Amino acid sequence: VSGAIPVSRYSERLKATVEQVRQAGLRALLIGVGPELAWLTGYHAIALERLTMLVVPAEGPVALVVPRLEVSRASEVPAVAAGAVPLHPWTETEDPVRLVRGLVPGQGASGSGLAVSDTLRASFLLRLQDAFRGAPFGVASGVMGPLRSVKDADEVELLRAAAHAADRTVLAIASGRLVGRTEADVAREVRERLVVEGHDEAAFWIVASGPNSASGHHEPGDRVIGSGEPIVLDIGGRIAGYCSDITRTIWVTGGDDAKGPDTTFRSLHGLVQEAQAIGRERVRPGVAAQELDRAARRVIDEGGHGEHFLHRLGHGIGLEVHEDPYLVEGNQEQIRVGQTFSVEPGIYLEGRYGARIEDIVVCGPNGADVLNHAPRDLMVVSGT
Ligand code: ZN
Ligand code: ZN
């Protein structure tokens, strides 16, 4: 992929984050392993019981506290290798929380509050709260969310590459054999193909057939896919940490023309498709996130299925599959150029069937740049 993140970008992100920490009147951000750490330094690590923590004080140098065992790996992290972030290793018998405490300058003009990364383990947070007795704690997303939600050109290209790999995976699955296989077997193929088509790893693989298509987050199981039924495929993977997320609904005939989609399903899918198109068309800088949800929901309401559209219209996407901004009633945040998010209406008839269509879009200066290209029409396939 041409769009790997240039190392200079991490210094820019750290600088912008420190600025926000100061404006928010915080003393420091304490960032554990997770998407915030990846975004600030390029360190994609697995959260372990040993503490790894980036300390970002309002005043004073940034530092990365790492277990001694992880030093060689951490040394290769882009922001560390570039000299922007010094390492502070701790050995097995040391207390890493004390080390963190020592790296946060005393309370200054900036205030006393600390903010931790949103997914920091409770056990670490409790020990930090003990070490910084009396200090108010909050979550880092308040400071970092607005910065992270606007993607730069390199991030958009990674998301685009991931979206195209997901497009190809959907088309490959839809054109292959489906009838007579279990959902779990097709899900296994989805995981393999996501990687074959260019992802570094598969992230999720919903294969929901027949009545299971009415369940938004179905776990693929032993159900055998038959002819004359829909399948909702909602799948995604990661490239250099950046996620894809696509949903297409297909109908499997088993090669028997008499087993095509019934009129109810056709009209239901048509409504979803129309709502999804409206959602994409309304994207422009300055539109409130909830307005996008409302515009798409209105189409489904007027089609008589309002009560069957059970979830928000979409979610931001980047280093996390679900992140700011959320397209949901009540979110008056104005969409900005560079924000990337899903547009994914659905209609679910409990016990019968359902349909969803999902694309990832980036807000451009004049409207949506749609990253997914797989056709959105109901894909009627033989599946044999
Ligand atoms: Zn999805
Ligand atoms: Zn999604």
DSSP 285-348: TT-BHHHHHHHHHHHHHHTT-GGG--S-SEEE-SSSSSEEEEE-TT--PBP-TTBEEEE--EEE
Query: How many angstroms does the Cα of residue 315 sit away from the middle of ligand 2?
Result: 6
pTM over 0.85: yes
Tell me how far CA of residue 354 lies from CA of 32, 73, 153, 255, 303, in angstroms.
39, 46, 36, 22, 15
Query: How many angstroms does the Cα of residue 382 sit away from the middle of ligand 1?
Result: 24
Mean pLDDT to the nearest integer, 201-227 = 94
Confidence at 106, pLDDT banded by 50, 70, 90 = confident
Q: Please list, residue by residue across 352-368, b when 16 or more beta carbons sit within 10 angstroms of its beta carbon and e when fewer do.
A: ebbbbbbbbbbbeeeeb
Query: How many angstroms does the Cα of residue 246 sit away from the middle of ligand 1?
Result: 5
Residue 329 has pLDDT above 90, yes or no: yes
Query: How many angstroms does the Cα of residue 139 sit away from the middle of ligand 2?
Result: 23
Confidence at 2, pLDDT banded by 50, 70, 90 = very low
Query: How many angstroms does the Cα of residue 75 sit away from the middle of ligand 1?
Result: 35
332, burial (CB in 10 Å: exposed 0-12, middle 13-18, buried 19+): exposed
Confidence at 109, pLDDT banded by 50, 70, 90 = low
Query: How many angstroms does the Cα of residue 358 sit away from the middle of ligand 2?
Result: 7
Query: How many angstroms does the Cα of residue 208 sit away from the middle of ligand 1?
Result: 12
Strand partners, 355: 347
Query: How many angstroms does the Cα of residue 244 sit away from the middle of ligand 2?
Result: 9
Q: How far apart, in whole angstroms, are the C-alpha atoms of residue 288 and residue 85?
A: 37
Query: How many angstroms does the Cα of residue 52 sit away from the middle of ligand 1?
Result: 31
Query: How many angstroms does the Cα of residue 197 sit away from the middle of ligand 2?
Result: 19
pLDDT, tens digit, for every residue of 40-91? 999 999 888 999 999 999 998 999 999 999 999 999 999 999 999 999 999 9
Q: How far apart, in whole angstroms, are the C-alpha atoms of residue 356 and residue 232?
A: 7
Query: How many angstroms does the Cα of residue 246 sit away from the middle of ligand 2?
Result: 7
Please report the pLDDT score of residue 1 as a whole number: 45
Please report the pLDDT score of residue 50 as a whole number: 95
Query: How many angstroms does the Cα of residue 117 sit away from the middle of ligand 2?
Result: 22
Q: How far apart, in whole angstroms, are the C-alpha atoms of residue 351 and residue 359?
A: 26
**Range in 65-79, 103-117, 206-220, 283-297 the model is least confident about:** 103-117
Query: How many angstroms does the Cα of residue 65 sit away from the middle of ligand 1?
Result: 35
Residue 213 carries which DSSP code? G
Mean pLDDT to the nearest integer, 252-280 = 97
Please report the pLDDT score of residue 108 as a whole number: 61
Tell me how far CA of residue 249 lies from CA of 108, 146, 268, in angstroms.
56, 33, 11
Mean pLDDT to the nearest integer, 233-258 = 97
Ligand nearest to the CA of 234: 1
Query: How many angstroms does the Cα of residue 343 sit away from the middle of ligand 1?
Result: 9
Please report the pLDDT score of residue 112 as a whole number: 85
pLDDT, tens digit, for every residue of 179-203? 999 999 999 999 999 999 999 999 9
Please report the pLDDT score of residue 244 as a whole number: 98
Confidence at 228, pLDDT banded by 50, 70, 90 = very high
Residue 271 has pLDDT above 80, yes or no: yes
Beta strands (DSSP E) in 94-150 are 113-116, 137-139
pLDDT, tens digit, for every residue of 149-182? 999 999 999 999 999 999 999 999 999 999 999 9
Query: How many angstroms does the Cα of residue 206 sit away from the middle of ligand 1?
Result: 8
CA 168 and chain centroid, separation: 19
Cβ 74 vs Cβ 82: under 8 Å? no
Query: How many angstroms does the Cα of residue 18 sit away from the middle of ligand 2?
Result: 31
Query: How many angstroms does the Cα of residue 194 sit away from the middle of ligand 2?
Result: 16
43, burial (CB in 10 Å: exposed 0-12, middle 13-18, buried 19+): buried
Confidence at 217, pLDDT banded by 50, 70, 90 = confident
Residue 357 has pLDDT above 60, yes or no: yes
Query: How many angstroms does the Cα of residue 264 sit away from the middle of ligand 1?
Result: 24
Ligand nearest to the CA of 311: 2
Residue 4 carries which DSSP code? P
Q: Which residues surround ligand 2, an ion (CB under 5 A)?
A: 245, 342
Ligand nearest to the CA of 343: 2
Q: Which residues surround ligand 1, an ion (CB under 5 A)?
A: 234, 245, 247, 358
Residue 267 has pLDDT above 60, yes or no: yes
335, burial (CB in 10 Å: exposed 0-12, middle 13-18, buried 19+): buried
